[in-house]
Each structure stands twice: as structure tokens, then as C-alpha cells.
Amino acid sequence: MGGSMVLARRFEEHRPRLRAVAYRLLGSLGEAAEAVEEARLRLERPGAGADADPGPEAGAVRNADRALTAAVARVCLDRLRSRGAARREEAPYGEDGRVRLPDPVVGRVPGPGPGPDYEQRALLSDGCDLPFMTALDTLGPAERVALVLCDLCAVPSDEVAEVLGRTEASARQLADRARHRVRAAAPAPDGDPEHRREVVAAFLAAAGEGDLDALLAVLDPDVVARSDGGTLRPSLLRRGATTVAAQAVIFARLAEAAHLVLVNGAPGVMAVADGRVISVMSFTVRGGRVTALDVLTDPDRLTRLGLTALLD
């Protein structure tokens, strides 16, 4: 079977995985879907599958899978570079008072009902909790691609170098530098998901009851709360347990209901008012307390995410 035919057959089989790769690279669900489709169209061009091994089936499949990942990564790299050029005049992340959060992947807390479908499971696999995704946004395009391909996709460094158009040593250096930056910006949370869920549930109950003392008991003294309101609402950056607790009580009064959900696979909260989702909150829990709270309140993005289906 020729290389192009192998790629075409494998592409549709791997579309969910490829979209997950693009999501990690771009931080946008919509852009990720577009990038995957753009990669498919590029691969349909004459000669695009020439690098796929047309030999024995097992080898062809392995090479095809790597070729698909590389094709999506190249499209994403182009988009990241274009995005960087558009933002070049802006201040670095957070320094202009603006908060920019990636699109969250929101799902139901596991229960007796049906679990996430295959595509959502791919999106929620390791390496996409919201603090990690937010930290990725602080990286340059080449650093981000190098880190995601090396650490999350297990792509060999020589193939990463080919995607980036750099030497293998340079690609390894980029990934290593990015790895240190992301680990510093997004330290690993507590490992027990059930315990983290209990902490978030305690926060939710305390906020709903307006119990400041109970909130202070679950918040780290140096907690940071970031809110991304998009172009229509001001972004907010709050620091310190007392300030964050007071803000949480005020916001809880605006919501008619709040639901425990999974946000990028971690415990979170989705707030609802007038039958529509008004916020999605992601919590970082370390040492048994909330150390960071990331809140998306941008009404346009919340609408595009189609979260009302989770209210059924």
C-alpha cells in the first residue's frame, strides 16, 4: 500500500488523537479542529505521503502515525508563529493586567451514567490540566512544540528537530528549557483525585453559604485567582486567601446553581444563571488546600463550548 493511502486511512482513525495533540499545542478547541483539518488537506496534496514507508504493514503504520503527528505539529507551529506576530506588541503574560486562559475541556464527574466518549478521553489524557496548559501559553512557538512532542507525544528528538527545522541538539535544548519553565509555573497538584474533589466540594459549599471562615480553611494563604472575561468583561487577578474568599462569596451569589465537574480531568465547578453557564472554574490543590483558581467567564467562549448539554 502506497504512503499516501496509508496516511489517508490512518488519518481518520487517529483524528481524535491528532486533535488532542493540536489542542495541547494551541490551547483552543476550535483552532485544534481547524489545524487537524488543514493538516489533512496538506497531506492530500500530490507527493505529501512520500515519506510514509510503503513497505511491510507494521512499519508503514508506525511511520504513518509519526507522519500524521508531524503534519499536525507543523500546522500548529505556523499558527503559533502567526499568533505570536499578532501579539508581539502586547506585554508578556499577566504583566498587562490581562488574564488569558486556554479553552477548558469540561466533563461530568464520573457516576452511574455514561462516561466521556473516545474523543473526550483523548483530550483528557495526561498532560492537559488547565494550569499546565496555561503555562504552555508562556512559551515561544518552538519551545511549545518541542515540549509537547517530546514529553506528551514521545516523538524522537530527531523527528522533533525536523518539524522545527533545527538541529537535534537544539530541539533537545528547547524542550529542556521549556520543561523547566513549565514545571516552575505549574507545579504538580496533589495526586489523590478524590481528596482534591473533596477540597473543591468544601470550597463550593462554603462559597454558597457565604462562610468566610470555612473558605479560609480550604484556601492557601497565598492563593492566586485568575479570571478571563474576554473582550466584554474585565480580567481579574486576585491574590491572598482573604481577597479570594470575599470574591468567591460575591460570585456565588450571582449564580443560581453550581455543579461539580471535571475541568481538563481535574475537579472543577461550573456556575449557571438564567439557564446558561456563566463560569467554569479550575482548581489547583496542593498540600490539601486550593493554591490557584482559574476562572473562565468569557460569555462568547462559554457559548462556543456548548456546555449547556452538561446540564441535562
Average pLDDT over residues 146-171: 94
The CATH 3.10.450.50 portion of the chain extends over 193-311
Mapped onto helix, strand or coil, the DSSP state of residue 293 is strand
Residue 308 confidence (pLDDT): 85
- For residue 197, pLDDT over 50 is answered with yes
Residue 215 confidence (pLDDT): 97
Measured CA to CA, the distance from residue 189 to residue 226 in angstroms comes to 17
Which amino acid, residue 102? P
- For residue 250, pLDDT over 70 is answered with yes
State pLDDT tens for residues 2-29: 555 666 677 888 899 999 999 999 999 9
Residue 54 confidence (pLDDT): 40
State pLDDT tens for residues 57-104: 444 445 678 889 999 999 999 999 998 755 544 444 444 456 789 999
Mapped onto helix, strand or coil, the DSSP state of residue 129 is coil
Residue 189 confidence (pLDDT): 87
The candidate with the shortest Cα–Cα distance to 23, out of 61, 81, 80, is 80
Q: Which residues touch 243 (CB under 8 Å, ≥6 apart)? A: none
Domain 193-311 fold: Nuclear Transport Factor 2; Chain: A, (3.10.450)
The candidate with the shortest Cα–Cα distance to 304, out of 122, 15, 34, is 34
Residue 310 confidence (pLDDT): 84
Average pLDDT over residues 165-175: 96
